Amino acid sequence: AQSVTQPDIHITVSEGASLELRCNYSYGATPYLFWYVQSPGQGLQLLLKYFSGDTLVQGIKGFEAEFKRSQSSFNLRKPSVHWSDAAEYFCAVGSPTGANNLFFGTGTRLTVIP
């Protein structure tokens, strides 16, 4: 069965500092992996996705994520956080044969302090 673990419920970083949000997945084969961001009062927006190929993927808003098969991880990174990045971030995994059903992690809330 597929599952996603985001071990950090809440992270606080200073504006301008680097960021890494952790995501570990459980799946029998290479899954499809996603990061979504949810701003307060909004729906989720796709930041980036990984299907195959280059294990370092670039997304919108300056985010990137690296797929590491050996660690079953897909961590999200940003070199310099902006105050507007404060939001909740969800990692999700999908089956290559699934009908667009994504399994979401429990989310990591990011607070950015001046």
Contact 25, 74 (CB under 8 A): yes
Number of residues that bind other proteins (CB under 8 A): 24
Q: What is the closest distance, in whole angstroms, from the C-beta atom of residue 53 to other proteins in the complex? A: 14
Angle at 42 between CA 6 and CA 56, to 5 degrees: 45
One residue of 46, 71, 82, 84 binding other proteins per CB under 8 A: 46
How far is Cα 78 from Cα 62, in angstroms, rounded to an integer? 6
Q: 3-class DSSP state for residue 22?
A: coil
One residue of 21, 24, 27, 44 binding other proteins per CB under 8 A: 44
Q: Which of 99, 78, 101, 104 lies closest to 11, judged by CA?
A: 78
Q: Which of 35, 37, 5, 50 lies closest to 23, judged by CA?
A: 5
One residue of 52, 54, 99, 114 binding other proteins per CB under 8 A: 99
By C-beta, is 7 or 16 nearer to other proteins? 7
Report if residue 83 touches other proteins, rule: CB under 8 A.
Answer: no
Map residues 48-67 to x or -, x wherever contact with other proteins holds by CB under 8 A: -x-x----------------
Map residues 2-21 to x or -, x wherever contact with other proteins holds by CB under 8 A: --x----x------------
